[in-house]
Every structure is written in C-alpha cells, then in structure tokens.
Amino acid sequence: MDHALINMTEAQPVVVVMVPFPAQGHLNQLLHFSRQIAAHGLPVHFVGSAAHNHQVQLRVHGWDPLSVSNIRFHDFPLPHHPSPPPDPLATHSFPVHLQPTFETAIVHLRSPFSALVRSLSSTFRRVAVIHDPLMSFAAQESSTLPNVEAYSFHCISAMARFCFQLKSLGSLINSKMKTPISLQAVSWPEGCFTDRFLEFVRSQHPMMAFDAGSIYNSCWPIEGEFLDMLSQEPFLGKGNRLWAVGPVNPIVVDRGVRTSHGCLEWLDKQPPQSVLYVSFGTLSSLSNDQVQELAKGLERSGQRFIWVLREADRGDIFAKEEEEEEEEEEEEEEEEKETNGLPEGFEQRVRGVGVVVRDWAPQLEILAHQSTGGFMSHCGWNSCIESIGMGVPIAAWPMHSDQPRNTVLVAEFLRMGIVVREWGRRGELVRAAAVETVVRRLMASKEGDEMRKRAAELAVKVGQAVAPGGSSHAHLQSFISHILRR
C-alpha cells in the first residue's frame, strides 16, 4: 500500500469506490459525483480501464480532476477486443459497435475490482461502492464482505427508470401520481435497444438486489413526481433508500478553468441567447444524407449555430489515433470522410453565422455561455441534465436507449423543448424544411422565447436545489452521513 493511501486511511475511516459504465455520458456523471464526494474529505477510488479513465479526464469540463488530490484513478487492463468504427448506415441506431467493449468490461474488470475492494475493506471501517446499474457485478462482489455496501448510481432520468419498471407496476400510476399521466406517454417504446444489449442489461439487473440504495442525477424541481414514485417500496426495494443529488455537474462554470477552444472565442462575439448548439452526443452518428439535410436546414434558418459534427466514439477512442499514426493510407481515408456529407461550399456560405466543430467540444461551457439560446440534442440524460441546469431549451432528436423517454420529459412535462422527429418516424430522413422550421421555432419565435423563459425559471429552481438548504444538497448530506454512520 502506498503512502498516499495510508495518509487517506488515517484521515478518514470510510472510502468510496466508483465503478462507471464505459460510455462517455456515464463516465462523466460518475466523475462529477466523485468530485462532490471528495469535497467532503472522503477518498475516492475511480475504477476503469486505462483508456476510459484517460478519456473522462480529458473531457470533463468545469473543473480539473488532477487538482483533486483525494480522487485516485485505477487503470485496470482490458484484453484486446474489437473496437470498430460506428456505422452511420446501420439499420439500428443503437451503437452496436460498442457492444464488445461493454461485454469485455464486465468480464475483465470484475476480478481487479474485487481485489481492490478486499484490500480496502481490510484497512477502512467501511467501503461504499457506487456503481452504474450496468456494472452491477460490483454490488454482488461487495455483498461478500461485511463492511462493504453497494449503491447504484443511475445515469438516466428518474422518468426513464420509472418507465423501465412500468410494465409490472403500471397499475400504480393513476392511484399514486399527482398529475394525470397517460400510459402511452410513459410506456417504453420499441426500437430503443438491440436484443443483444437487452440481454446484457438482464445479466446485470438481478445483481442490483444486493444494493443498499439508489442515487439519481436528478432533483425534485425536475422530476419530483417520478422520484416520489421511485422512493416507494415497489420500485426501490424493501429497506433501501433513494437519494436525488443532481445535477452533479457544475451549474456555474468557473471561467478560471475555461477550456481553450475556438468555438468559445467565437461565442464571446455573439449576441445573448442567439446561438443554437447542435450535438448528438458520443454514441450516435448521422448518415451523409442526414448530414446534408441538417446542413441545408441550418443554413436556410438563418440562425447562428455551433454544430459538433463527428462520428460516434469507438470502444477505445485512442485506438483510432494510434491506427492513423501507423497507417498513412487510413489517415487519408479519414480525411476524405471528414466532410461527413456537408453540401459543397457550406462552411464558406455560413462563415460568421455558423461554426462546424469536428473534434471534441466543451459542451458544459458552451451551454453555460450567455450567447447560447438553444440545444439541438439526442436527449441523452447527461446532455439533458446539463442543458436543464444551464437553462437552455432543447430541440429533441432522440436516437436510441432512454432518449425517447427523456424527450417526453423535456417537451411534454417540463415544456422546455420541442421535438425534431417523433420516435415513431425514426426510420425516416428528417428533411431540411423540417429542420429549418424547428430551428426557427426554437430560436426566432415567441414560442421559443417562452421556452427560454421556462428553462431559465427551472434552472433557478435547480440552482436552489443544489445550494445549501435545497433538496439535492440535503440528499447529498444525507448520503454522506449515511455512509459515515457508526
């Protein structure tokens, strides 16, 4: 055991181990939560592969993870496995190319995780393991040690979690919910996942029975009724507890640690709330035909925009870089693909009005910028909670997974967004005319102004929730007190 760990042991009788799922939106949320835990003086051990730990450290915004001395990263090795590029023409929008990484992680991280927890349990009075539900093997492993407790950290919305359990508990809705909700509005839609991924989920789900409680990256101003329902025994499990501590990401970005990125400098020169941020996350790729239509729609709208146009992540985002360095021919092929189907001369025509970003963009800082007035998004929960916390309304374009349910939450429940494409028409191309209409509605209409007003009002409530005296702050303090108890 090294001296740093001995010092942490002497300072604090409880240690926390974070076990994230190896996808950017999940990694990011658990790293933000690690910062909150570490701020209370607790040592945090962040478990993952070397590539994913490096990835999340490079991409986190609003703070510097290397400046937090009591967060320690454990780079566990993963054997070589396929890390193919995404296929924008695939019949299913779910990122099937990442499945080998998901499956490799749950098999090969289990043993080193178990060894770490056993080592810590022999030194610390209590070990609190906080894991993604898709990494619930951590809960099962934790259950074998008397002074180790496991807690699931949900990287999806409370509404999405509620919908997952709706099939068996749907009869509770009308009798328990304060606001009338149609079964159609919250039932889980078809086509969100592949059968193989659903099997993967089913392999982990039973092990959540070993958890002592659930943590949500959400808060009562956003999802109060769904959190109320999930806190009840039929959903939570007998004897378990629920803590809603979100947003875990900063909702005020420290400009002193601002990322050096050209798009932020461009934003500085734009009028307040005039820019539409367009990004579909790290797990979705658009076909060239769809890129063409989106580009035409943005151009015709006449509205300012920042468009992050990049392919979805591979399982190992650094493997691609290594291949490109080693093989000049592959690098040339990638350069040819870099246009991603943009209409000829597009970037020249929109110069001064729009910016196309082809690398990683500082999303949290873009959303926090006063010039940003809207977000065209896939509605992954990481993007939703960041946008809600910054008071930015959303043009929702769900692609897969929990995104259709988050779209319902944003557009119908919170009324701070509009839908670009209905889920039932997910197989259709979104034409330029539809894009133009949505962009104008969000950015240049009274309807859009009202959404911005509602989003800003909700952001104030969210800020109050995470401030001392607020619900999220109280829940975080409650969780810390719970794991420190004697």
CA distances for 275 relative to 269, 368, 369, 420, 435, angstroms = 11, 12, 10, 17, 15
Nearest to 379 by CA among 394, 357, 393, 361: 394
> What is the C-alpha separation between 204 and 140, in angstroms, rounded?
10
Which helix (H) or strand (E) element contains residue 331?
helix 328-337
Beta strand spans in 58-105 (E): 71-76
How do the residues of the chain divide into helix, strand and coil, expressed in percent and rounded to 5? 50, 15, 35
Joined together, the tokens standing for residue 265 give 């400098």
> What is the C-alpha separation between 185 and 248, in angstroms, rounded?
27
HSE-up of residue 326 (Cα within 13 Å, Cβ side): 6
Secondary structure (3-state) at 59: helix
Contact of 404 with 398, CB cutoff 8 Å: yes
Contact of 278 with 307, CB cutoff 8 Å: yes
Catalytic residues: 26, 132
